Chain A
Amino acid sequence: MGHTLILACGNPLRGDDAVGWEIAEAVQSASSRADIDIETAHQFAPEMADRISQAAIVIFIDACVTNEPGSVRFERVFPSQSDPGTFTHELNPPALLALAEALYGRSPTRAFALTVGAESLELNEGLSESVRAAIPEAVFTILGYLARQASLPNDVAAAPAVRV
C-alpha cells in the first residue's frame, strides 16, 4: 500500500472554516505513521495535482455549509471534470482528481472527502462549540479507515475503487 495524502483546506481567520486545519493537526498528533503526508492550505489548488497523483489514498478535509453544524461526513470522491466552476485558482476535489489524471496519468486508488458542518464562517478566530466537539469523531473516522486499509492484504488495498 502506498502513502496517504491528507489535504485540509480552510481559512483560520473565518471561524469554523479552520476546522479542516485543526483536524489535520489532530491527526498528525494522534498518529505516528510515517506513510501519512499532511498539507494544509487555504484552497484546493491545481498545483496539488502533482502530490495527489503520487498518493494511494487522498483524504480532503473541509468545512461545509450544507451539513448540520458539527456533523461529520466521510464520502468517497471520484474524478470529475463536469463542474470545474468559473475556474480561477481553486478546484473542488473531484476536479482536482480529474486534473491529476489529465496531468500525470493517474489519480489515487481511493479518495474521500471528510466534511464537518460549519456553524459560523464570520471573520474571527476559533471554532464554535459544536464544530470543535466534532474533531475527535473526524480524527477517529480517518485513522480508523486508514487502520482498516493497512490491515488488508496489499492486493485488496490497492484495488481501484468502483463507482457505485
Chain B
Amino acid sequence: MGQKIVIDPVTRLEGHGKITLQLDDKGEVQEAYFHVTQLRGFEKFCEGRPFYEMPNLMARICGICPVSHLIASAKACDALLAVRIPPIARRLRQMMNLAQIVQSHALSFFYLSSPDLLLGMDSDPAKRNLFGVMQANPELGRGGVRLRQFGQKIIELLGGKRIHPGWVVPGGVNEPLSAAKREQILKMIPEALATTQQTISWFKQNLESYRREIRTFANFPTLFMGLVAHDDRLGFYEGTLRITDSSGKIVADNLDPAQYAAYIGEAVEPYSYMKFPYYKPLGYPDGIYRVGPLARLNIVNRCGSPLADEEFAEFRQLERGAVLSSFHYHYARLIEILFAIERIEEFLNERDILSQHVRATASLNELEGVGVAEAPRGTLIHHYRVDEQGLMTSANLIIATGHNNLAMNRGILQAAKHFVRGAKLQEGMLNRVEAVIRCFDPCLSCSTHAMGQMPLIIELVAADGSQLDQMRRN
C-alpha cells in the first residue's frame, strides 16, 4: 500500500508551502510535490485601476523584494508612456535594485540558510536559528545583520523608506541623489565588501563538508535563463534574455523580454496555486529551466566587476559546463552580493550621478507594456494592458519563484529519494528536503501573495487517507 509524507508548511521560507512525499509499497519515495497553498489576487484586483498606480500597488506584493516589483512595474509603465527615462534615473533605479539584491540575498544566506550551513542539517532544530549562529560564529552572524542593514539603508536613503519606497515612478525617479547621501553610502562600502569577502572565504573553506548536499540538492541538467546587459555583464536592470543549457551552450540569445510569451509558456497543476513556466520550444515539462543567482552566473562569461569576477572564475571551475547543483545557489548569492556592492560604488563615482534631471514626463502612448528586471530570486516580468483612458484591463506577472517551480519539484524528489527512508520520520532528513527549497530562496508571498505563521507539520498518510505518523515543530 502506498503512503504519503506531508511537510506542511515548510519553514524558513517567505510564505506558505507544503511538501507531499508519495511512498511506494516498499517505503521508497516515488513522487514529490511542492504545493503552494496561497492564492494571489494581484493580477485580478488591479484591473480598472489607473496604470500610474501600478508601481506602488505592485510593490505591496512583497515586503522582502518590493523594489523588484516597483522597478519591473515602473518599466512596464515607461513602456506605456513610450518614454526613454533620463540616464541618471536609470542608474539610480539600478542602484536601488542592487541594494535590494544585497539585502534580500543577505536575508536568505545569513538568516535562513546559515543555521543549516554552520550548525549542520542534523543539528537541534531549537538552536538552528540566528542565535545558534551567533553562538557558533558571532562574526558570521554580525556580518549578516550588518550586510542586510547596508542594503536596507541604501534603499532608505534613495527611496525615503526601507520597505515599499515610492521613489521609483513611471518616467524615472522622483528625487535626485544628494551629495550628502552619496557620501553616506560610500562610507558604508568598505565594511560591506570586507564582510562579503570574509563570508565567501568561510563558505568556500566549508564546501567539502556539504558534499552529499551538493550532490543531491536539485543537481540535474536544466536550462538556465536571465537578463544579460548589453555590455555582457550581469544585467539586473536591463538587457536581453539569454537561455543556456547544462553544458553551458547558448540555446537562445538576445531575446526581447517584451516578447516573453513567444518563448515562455505557463502550465498549471491541480496541486499548486503557483504556475509552472517552461521554455516553449522544448514543451512541458521538458522545457524546465532555472532562474536566479545560479542561473545568472551560468549564462554570463563574467560578472563585470573586479572582485566578483575573481570569485566568478573560481565558481565556474566547479564544473566543466554549467554549475548544476542548486546547493550552489548559496555560493552564487554571495558572489552577486559582492558584484552588487562593487557596482553601487562604481555608480556613485560616476560624474553625473548627482544630476537633477531624473524624470521624463509623457502621457499614455501605448496600450500595452512589459517591464522586466532581475529580482533577487530571478527574472521578474510585469505585463500590463490598458484602455485609452489608461485604466488597467489586464496584468500578467511571472514571478521569479514561479520560473523555478518545475526545478524545485524535481529537486525535492531527488533529495527525498536520497535522504528519506521508509515510514519513520527523522528531523534531519526532512530538514534536508526543506533545505533544497531554501537553496532557491522561493518567495511564496510574491508568487501567490499571502501572509501568516509558519509552524512545520509533517504527516505520514496512507493511501487510504489514514494518518500513520505526525511530527510538528513550531
- A residues whose Cβ falls under 8 Å from a Cβ of B: 13, 41-43, 46-47, 49-50, 81, 84-89, 95, 98-99, 102-103
Contact A98 B149 (CB under 8 A): no
List residues of chain B with CB within 8 A of the CB of A99: 130-131, 134, 145
- Report the minimum CB–CB distance from A58 to chain B (whole Å): 17
| Interface residue? B12 (CB, 8 A) | yes
Q: Are A86 and B454 in contact (CB under 8 A)?
A: yes
The 3 closest A-B pairs by CB, nearest first: A87-B129, A102-B134, A47-B149
Q: Which of A41, A88, A103 contacts B112 (CB 8 A)?
A: A88
Question: Are A86 and B473 closer than 8 Å at their CB atoms?
Answer: yes
Contacting B111 at CB < 8 Å: which of A41, A42, A88, A98? A88
Q: Report yes or no: A84 in contact with B152, Cβ–Cβ below 8 A.
A: no
How many Å from the CB of A123 to the closest CB on chain B?
A: 11
How far is A99 from B142 in the complex, measured between Cα atoms in Å?
A: 10
> Does the CB pair B130–A84 fall under 8 Å?
yes
Q: Check A86–B455 contact: CB distance below 8 A.
A: yes
CA gap between A81 and B127 in the complex, in Å: 10
B11 within 8 A of A: yes
Interface residues of B in 1-42 (CB under 8 A from A): 11-14
Chain B nearest CB, measured from A50 CB (Å): 7
In B93-148, the 8 Å CB interface with A consists of: 107, 111-112, 129-131, 134-135, 138, 141-142, 145-146, 148
Q: How many pairs of residues, A versus B, come closer than 8 Å at their CB atoms?
A: 61
Interface size on B, residues (CB 8 A): 31
A88 CA / B107 CA spacing, docked (Å):
8
Known contacts A42-B163, A86-B473, A103 near B456 by CB under 8 Å? no
- CA of A84 to CA of B13 in the docked complex: distance in angstroms? 16
- Contact (Cβ within 8 A) B111 A89: yes
Provided the pairs A42-B63, A50-B145 are in contact, do residues A89 and B107 lie with their beta carbons within 8 angstroms? yes
Instruction: Please list the residues of chain B having a beta carbon within 8 angstroms of any beta carbon in chain A.
Output: 11-14, 60, 63-64, 107, 111-112, 129-131, 134-135, 138, 141-142, 145-146, 148-149, 152, 162-163, 453-456, 473-474
A102 to B142, CA, bound (A): 9
User: A88, B14: Cβ atoms under 8 Å?
Assistant: yes
Tell me which residues across on chain B come within 8 A of A102, comparing CB atoms. Answer: 131, 134-135, 138, 141
Residues on the A chain within 8 Å of B131, using CB: 81, 84, 95, 98-99, 102
29 A-B pairs whose Cβ atoms sit less than 8 Å apart in the complex: A46-B130, A46-B145, A46-B148, A47-B148, A47-B152, A81-B131, A84-B129, A84-B130, A84-B131, A86-B12, A86-B453, A86-B456, A86-B473, A86-B474, A87-B111, A87-B129, A88-B12, A88-B13, A88-B14, A88-B112, A88-B454, A99-B130, A99-B131, A99-B134, A99-B145, A102-B131, A102-B141, A103-B134, A103-B141
Let me know if A49 and B145 touch, CB within 8 A: yes
Residue of B nearest to A101 (CB): B134
Q: Which residues of A contact B134 (CB under 8 A)?
A: 99, 102-103
A13 to B145, CA, bound (A): 27
CB distance from B140 to the nearest CB of A (A): 11
Looking at the assembled complex, report how far the CB atom of A93 sits from the nearest CB atom of chain B, in whole angstroms: 15
Tell me which of A13, A43, A50, A87 contacts B130 (CB under 8 A): A87
Separation in Å of the B184 CB from the closest CB of chain A?
15
Q: How far is the CA of A85 from the CA of B473 in the complex (A)?
A: 10
B12 CB contacts on chain A under 8 angstroms = 86-88
Bound complex: CA A84 to CA B453 (Å): 13
**Nearest CB of chain A from residue B162's CB, rounded to whole Å:** 8
Task: Give min CB distance, B435 to chain A, whole Å.
Answer: 14
